[in-house]
């Protein structure tokens, strides 16, 4: 640690979103103590956690990871990636590890690798549930064993402790499963002796990289952590951090801009002073860390059925003028025809989204009688099997096209279908199934670390 500060880079918002190579080069010239990047988010929805697929593209992940790995090796500093592969489950972690090995082979790189696993054993979770160590968050109901059983995959969101343990064991590259976004940077700063408040705050600033800068871009951000302040600076000379841009980052995707709940404590920024340090960098001081009982947030996804959709538009003013009754007649007619296929109402749901009406906001739409010359109808069938979903959407398509209504002029068909085939199989549908925290025995027990000499 030079001059009692720790310098850390965040390469981009998410691994695979890209960053200018020149920004990374400029960052490495500043002799940072690590390069990190966040690999995931729950934002793209439950599909990725449920299916085990990554939501960033393999080629894009490889490009980013290759630059970071080579930069880290050349400078003998750790490369740390949190929430690998988007959702941070076992298949996501393995997908990233496989890319890492490929890069290492191609460039002849050798290092000590730590893989930190975040997927949870159902038997362990049930033990914790029976012991009363799993609590609901927000409006969630208490967890049940059947929810655990039904979940396709459950991950814990690790804190910085597993990363710290890997650093202490001498790992040069850390690929981690699901974690709280600031975890890699908070860990590195605390590993070098920085206090929790400043370490966590730096992680919070770095997790979305240049989201904390102006103009917002997928680009590299540097944070300098001292025992009593954190400075942030974008590594692209075209960008700058201002007190306002840094304050705005605190608003991003958080429930509160001043109280950030994390494993083992709360980061409190209510007494922060945010000041311009140079024209392009900002110094923040006064952050506080209040220790709390140690909990780990759980995320899970369960398969709730199979989906098929069809999309159509209507341009008929007569139909649009009686849209509500028309759609009601569609629902009734589809129910009758589907019953004739020996499919019971419990086996499927028909979801109709009406664009031009309330397709975006549903029941929250404040405009009661919208006027539009055309309406887009996205019909979705969700069913126990793909075959049933396909059958229901097929019936729905025909019914939308040919159902009669009072004053009908468009007797050849009510709908414009843009595609042939018009019906689209969407496969398995997942929902987030957990909104709970668990109280583990210690911060490491849920996150086994596997070391490997690459």
Does position 341 interact with other proteins (CB under 8 A)? The reply is no
Tell me the Cα Rg of the chain.
26
User: According to CB under 8 A, which one of 336, 351, 385, 425 is a site residue for other proteins?
Assistant: 351
Residue 441 Cβ vs other proteins, minimum distance, rounded to whole Å: 25
Cβ proximity to other proteins, 202 vs 389, nearer residue: 389
Task: Decide if 221 contacts 254 (C-beta within 8 A).
Answer: no
Residue 70 Cβ vs other proteins, minimum distance, rounded to whole Å: 33
Which position has the token pair 């009982």?
A: 293
Beta pairing partners, 173: 79, 113
28-32 long-range Cβ contacts below 8 angstroms, 24+ apart: 28/71, 28/74, 28/75, 30/222, 30/235, 31/2, 31/7, 31/75, 32/7, 32/8, 32/75, 32/77, 32/222
Residue 180 Cβ vs other proteins, minimum distance, rounded to whole Å: 11
Q: Please report, for residues 32, 355, 363, 367, 377, the alpha-carbon distance to residue 371 in angstroms, rounded to integers and kept in the order given.
A: 57, 11, 17, 10, 15
Residue 353 Cβ vs other proteins, minimum distance, rounded to whole Å: 6
The pattern of x and - marking residues 153 through 182 that bind other proteins according to CB under 8 A reads ------------------------------
- Residue 286 has what DSSP assignment? -
Residues 390 and 424: their CA atoms lie apart, in Å, by 8
Residue 362 Cβ vs other proteins, minimum distance, rounded to whole Å: 5
Residue ranges of the alpha helices (H) in 235-300? Answer: 243-249
Cβ proximity to other proteins, 1 vs 251, nearer residue: 251
Task: Decide if 37 contacts 81 (C-beta within 8 A).
Answer: yes
Using alpha carbons only, give the angle 381, 385, 390 rounded to the nearest 5 degrees.
45
Which residues have a Cβ under 8 Å from the Cβ of 425 and sit 6 or more positions away? 306, 307, 308, 386, 389, 390
- Residue 75 has what DSSP assignment? H
What's the N-to-C CA distance of the chain in angstroms?
Answer: 27
* Sites for other proteins among residues 99-158 (CB under 8 A): 138-140
The pattern of x and - marking residues 279 through 318 that bind other proteins according to CB under 8 A reads --------------------x----xx-------------
* Sites for other proteins among residues 248-277 (CB under 8 A): 248, 250-258, 269-276
Cβ proximity to other proteins, 23 vs 180, nearer residue: 180
ω before 286 within 30° of 0 (cis)? no
Does position 385 interact with other proteins (CB under 8 A)? The reply is no
Residue 333 Cβ vs other proteins, minimum distance, rounded to whole Å: 21
Does position 443 interact with other proteins (CB under 8 A)? The reply is no
User: According to CB under 8 A, which one of 126, 353, 384, 426 is a site residue for other proteins?
Assistant: 353
Residue 444 Cβ vs other proteins, minimum distance, rounded to whole Å: 24
Does position 382 interact with other proteins (CB under 8 A)? The reply is yes
Residue 101 Cβ vs other proteins, minimum distance, rounded to whole Å: 32
User: According to CB under 8 A, which one of 264, 435, 449, 454 is a site residue for other proteins?
Assistant: 435
Cβ proximity to other proteins, 75 vs 242, nearer residue: 242
Cβ proximity to other proteins, 362 vs 413, nearer residue: 362
Does position 424 interact with other proteins (CB under 8 A)? The reply is no
Tell which residue, 306, 311, 350, has the closest CA to residue 47.
Answer: 306
Neighbours of 323 (CB within 10 A): 18
Cβ proximity to other proteins, 114 vs 429, nearer residue: 429
Does position 52 interact with other proteins (CB under 8 A)? The reply is no
User: According to CB under 8 A, which one of 94, 432, 444, 454 is a site residue for other proteins?
Assistant: 432
Residues 199 and 102: their CA atoms lie apart, in Å, by 32
Cβ proximity to other proteins, 140 vs 169, nearer residue: 140
By CB under 8 A, name the binding residues for other proteins. Answer: 42-47, 138-140, 243-244, 247-248, 250-258, 269-276, 299, 304-305, 349, 351, 353, 359-364, 366, 382, 429-432, 435
């Amino acid at each position: 640690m030079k001059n009692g500060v720790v310098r850390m880079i965040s390469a981009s918002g998410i691994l695979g979103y890209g960053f200018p190579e020149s920004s990374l080069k400029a960052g490495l010239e500043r002799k940072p103590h690590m390069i990190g990047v966040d690999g995931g988010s729950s934002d793209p929805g439950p599909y990725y956690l449920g299916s085990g697929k990554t939501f960033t593209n393999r080629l894009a992940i490889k490009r980013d990871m290759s630059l970071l790995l080579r930069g880290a090796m050349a400078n003998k500093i750790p490369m740390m990636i949190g929430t690998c592969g988007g959702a941070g489950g076992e298949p996501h972690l393995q997908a990233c590890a496989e890319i890492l090995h490929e890069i290492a082979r191609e460039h002849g790189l050798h290092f000590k690798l730590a893989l930190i696993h975040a997927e949870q054993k159902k038997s362990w979770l049930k033990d914790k549930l029976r012991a009363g160590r799993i609590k609901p968050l927000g409006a969630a109901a208490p967890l049940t064993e059947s929810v655990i059983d039904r979940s396709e995959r459950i991950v814990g969101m690790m804190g910085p402790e597993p990363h710290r343990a890997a650093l202490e064991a001498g790992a040069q590259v850390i690929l981690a499963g699901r974690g709280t976004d600031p975890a890699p940077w908070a860990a590195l700063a605390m590993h070098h002796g920085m206090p929790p408040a400043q370490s966590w705050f730096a992680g919070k600033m770095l997790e979305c990289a240049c989201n904390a800068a102006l103009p917002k871009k997928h680009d590299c951000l540097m944070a300098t952590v001292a025992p009593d302040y954190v400075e942030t600076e974008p590594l692209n000379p075209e960008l700058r951090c201002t007190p306002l841009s840094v304050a705005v980052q605190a608003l991003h995707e958080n429930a509160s801009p001043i109280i950030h709940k994390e494993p083992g404590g709360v980061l409190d920024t209510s007494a922060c002073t945010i000041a311009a340090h140079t024209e392009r960098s900002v110094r923040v001081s006064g952050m506080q860390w209040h220790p709390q009982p140690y909990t780990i947030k759980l995320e899970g996804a369960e398969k709730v059925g199979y989906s098929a959709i069809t999309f159509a538009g209507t341009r008929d003013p007569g139909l649009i003028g009686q849209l509500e009754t028309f759609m009601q007649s569609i629902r009734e007619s589809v129910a009758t025809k589907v019953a004739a296929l020996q499919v019971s109402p419990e086996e499927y749901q028909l979801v109709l989204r009406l664009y031009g009406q309330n397709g975006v906001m549903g029941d929250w739409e404040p405009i009661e009688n919208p006027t539009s010359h055309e309406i887009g109808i996205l019909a979705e069938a969700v069913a126990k099997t793909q075959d049933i979903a396909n059958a229901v959407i097929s019936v729905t398509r025909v019914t939308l096209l040919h159902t009669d209504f009072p004053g009908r002029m468009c007797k050849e068909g009510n709908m414009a279908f843009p595609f042939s085939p018009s019906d689209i199989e969407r496969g398995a549908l997942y929902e987030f199934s957990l909104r709970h925290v668990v109280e583990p025995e210690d911060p490491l027990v849920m996150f086994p670390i596997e070391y490997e000499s690459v």
